[in-house]
Structure 1
Amino acid sequence: MKLAFYGSSLLSSYWNGAATYYRGLLRDLAPRGYDITFYEPDAFDRQQHRDIDPPDWAKVVVYPATPDALRGVVAEAARADVVVKASGVGVFDTELLEGVTAAARPDAIRIFWDVDAPATLAEIAGSPDHVLRRCMPQLDFVLTYGGGPPVIAAYEGFGARRCIPIYNALDPSTHHPVPAEERFAADLAFLGNRLPDREARVEQFFLQPAALLPDRRFLIGGNGWDSKAMPPNVRHLGHVYTREHNAFNTSPLAVLNIARDSMATTGFSPATRVFEAAGAGACLITDAWVGLELFLKEGEEVLVARDGQDVAEHVRNLTPERARAIGEAARRRILAEHTYHLRGAEVDALLRAEAARKAQRSAA
């Protein structure tokens, strides 16, 4: 099947946390019989910060962020059997969704793939003329990369025919244990871009523990933190390329995950970083959120913090031996239950069942 995927970027993770999610899923779908074209705009300096070259498992079309170029890539939706518009492309999001939904053939499978469902649902609730309200009747699926029962219920309440979470996962060919590197050495490391709905939680779960443990080393990676006031024992790296994530995860004593406000509130929304860290065998400390037990077991495969004081206590009490044991247990669990090979099989089954249903309906 020909699959046209309109997303933020496959080639760059710069201000684009969904990149490894796209890569993991689409890399797995390609050998299952999907001819994939990924359409991404030349925007936000992402093309100047590529993590990967165009892969052999997908054709990548980088188009100028102009109305003329938009019309050209939208028209190509008519050639696809499966048309996917992802959330958060960043330019022409409304026009892309309306355009590719209208351009797709009647027998094509139309999907909105939401990589930030809690935020999108808040937008829909506050906007009676939201583009998704207009396009929902034409969509066969809403797929999300998290959110569990609360997100499913909310999307179905807005008229989605089917809303199915396809959770983040691990691609063990790209995220795995590597030797530690001194440049990433720390007692606790956090990787995430500075965003309005994350900053207060970073202050609580990362900067407060750093202030409480002045004799320990803290490391923060990601865009936007250069102007943020931090304790003197915090070192800031700036953007960390995907190819550096393994060493970033294996070098510190522990790695911290901090959910954004909306995802922490909704629950069932493990970030990509959770699986990357576990895949590298890192000892992960995460803020608490509903649904965590579906992915990792508290105390054995992950350490959970309810506030900054908890984070500080975990770091203070953690030994290299216990950190290693937790990281190894997490890696075993994720490899057994949460890989993109398993997620790809789930998506493949959905698409083939829907294609068969459409074919049967057309023949009737």
Structure 2
Amino acid sequence: MSMDIVILGLSITSSWGNGHATTYRGLVRELVRLGHRVTFLERDVPWYACARDLPEPPYGRTHLYVSLDDLRRRFAPLVRAADAVIVGSYVPDGVAVGEWVQMEARGVTAFYDIDTPVTLARLRAGDHAYLSPELIPGFDLYLSFTGGPTLDRLEREYGSPCARAFYCAFDPGAYHPDPTAATRWDLGYLGTYSIDRQPRVASMLIEPARAMPERRFTVAGPLYPGEVDWPANVERTEHVPPSAHRAFYTAQRFTLNVTRDDMIAAGYSPSVRLFEAAACGVPIISDAWDGLDTIFCPGEDILVANGTDDVRTYLTGVTDHERLAIAQRARERVMSGHTARHRALQLPELLSEATLRRVRDPA
């Protein structure tokens, strides 16, 4: 049965400095292909307005709003009429948006947390920029970027009536191998600067680059401070748009995954970059975290490193035959369960489960 779904998310029009846009694009596109009617509502903010790489998404409907008052005035009927209304993490004035949605919506409501470990760390610190503890029980469903024990915690400690894992996903049409690609770098990393990730970026890429001046490395992503001491053999790019991600990945012999501290602590938090790189047929070197082995098989389809020495060993000791076999196994794994279509098939089932739960257990 088709559904009318409204999503209030951080951004679908601009991927600058965030991983939300590509996740929303794939999900909305596949929901529409499955016959659902989807409207995406996005706050019009200057840092995305000047960097929109998909200003008019060709699937569903996308509307920009300039303020909370504008949102309430123009879109209240849409929210009231929807079968499901989903509020995403990092939405500006997210608490006020969530309160309004819970008051206006007649259908099932959900919070889609693409940043669950960060969100919970913020809640512990009393930071309620986009979600407050009081809002969580009011959402019928908590769609969590993180699985594992965090789901039980969301229900037990925060009162979510229904917390379910809803991992990020990738678009197979955009992320796939390119056998004609020329290798430019031995190891690359795609990610926005984060102060807690930077020590691992240093130990797993900068230090190997410094120790291996004959090798080529690259780091792409915004917001890196000027004081970072990049070796001469590390090429820096400020931003790679999603349309160029595949070319970026397939020009690497290996690609690096580095995880934020909060996500390592929570575990079970696969980055969308993991899925994208694997889909492109590029072998991944990753830091370690609980639950990684529920997504990949370490040593078989992903290489786990604890620092500089491990990375150097992989770069020098893994043969091309082994490297390509690792990449192929990873691609097969993500194709079997982590595409945007998998998530689009999963979402209506989770929304229906939450609806039935609400009918069965009214507040």
TM-superposed CA distance for 1:352, in Å, is 2.7
Contact 2:148-2:267 at 8 Å conserved across structures: no
TM-superposed CA distance for 1:251, in Å, is 0.9
Contact 1:226-1:238 at 8 Å conserved across structures: no
Query: Aligned partner of 1:112: which letter?
Result: F
Query: Aligned partner of 1:60: which letter?
Result: T
Partner residue, 2:188:
189
Partner residue, 2:152:
153
- Paired with 1:335 and 1:274, the residues of 2 have a C-alpha distance of 12
- Paired with 2:190 and 2:52, the residues of 1 have a C-alpha distance of 18
Contact 2:145-2:168 at 8 Å conserved across structures: yes
TM-superposed CA distance for 1:356, in Å, is 4.9
Matched, 1:96 2:93: no
Percent identical across equivalent pairs? 34
Distance 1:197 1:310, change over 3 A: same
Partner residue, 2:337:
337
Contact 1:180-1:247 at 8 Å conserved across structures: no
How many residue pairs match? The answer is 356
SS in 1 for 2:50: helix
TM-superposed CA distance for 1:341, in Å, is 2.0
SS in 2 for 1:253: strand
Unaligned 5+ runs, structure 2: none
TM-superposed CA distance for 1:70, in Å, is 3.6
- Paired with 2:167 and 2:154, the residues of 1 have a C-alpha distance of 16
TM-superposed CA distance for 1:52, in Å, is 2.7
- Paired with 2:152 and 2:74, the residues of 1 have a C-alpha distance of 33
Partner deviation per Cα, 1:160-193 (whole Å, 9 max, x = no partner): 11111111223211211225556x7100000000
Query: Aligned partner of 1:308: which letter?
Result: T
Query: Aligned partner of 1:338: which letter?
Result: H
SS in 2 for 1:6: strand
Distance 1:44 1:255, change over 3 A: farther
Partner residue, 2:316:
316
Matched, 1:215 2:214: yes
Partner residue, 1:18:
20
- Paired with 2:74 and 2:200, the residues of 1 have a C-alpha distance of 38
TM-superposed CA distance for 1:201, in Å, is 2.2
Query: Aligned partner of 2:126: which letter?
Result: S
- Say which of 89, 99, 104 aligns to 1:87: 89
- Paired with 2:127 and 2:261, the residues of 1 have a C-alpha distance of 24
Contact 1:32-1:348 at 8 Å conserved across structures: no
TM-superposed CA distance for 1:226, in Å, is 6.1
Q: When you count helix as a share of all residues, which structure comes out higher?
A: 1
- Paired with 1:294 and 1:128, the residues of 2 have a C-alpha distance of 31
Over the aligned positions, Cα root-mean-square deviation in angstroms equals: 2.2
Partner residue, 1:242:
242
- Paired with 1:353 and 1:151, the residues of 2 have a C-alpha distance of 19
- Paired with 2:49 and 2:103, the residues of 1 have a C-alpha distance of 29
Partner residue, 2:39:
37
Pick which of 187-196 and 118-127 moved more: 118-127
TM-superposed CA distance for 1:129, in Å, is 7.6
- Paired with 2:46 and 2:295, the residues of 1 have a C-alpha distance of 33
Partner residue, 1:232:
232
Contact 1:74-1:103 at 8 Å conserved across structures: no
SS in 2 for 1:155: helix
SS in 1 for 2:185: coil
Partner residue, 1:166:
166
TM-superposed CA distance for 1:115, in Å, is 0.8
Query: Aligned partner of 2:37: which letter?
Result: D
Unaligned 5+ runs, structure 1: none
TM-superposed CA distance for 1:269, in Å, is 0.8
Matched, 1:296 2:296: yes
Normalised to the residue count of structure 2, the TM-score between the two structures is: 0.91
SS in 2 for 1:100: helix
- Paired with 2:346 and 2:200, the residues of 1 have a C-alpha distance of 33
Pick which of 73-82 and 271-280 moved more: 73-82
Contact 2:162-2:354 at 8 Å conserved across structures: no
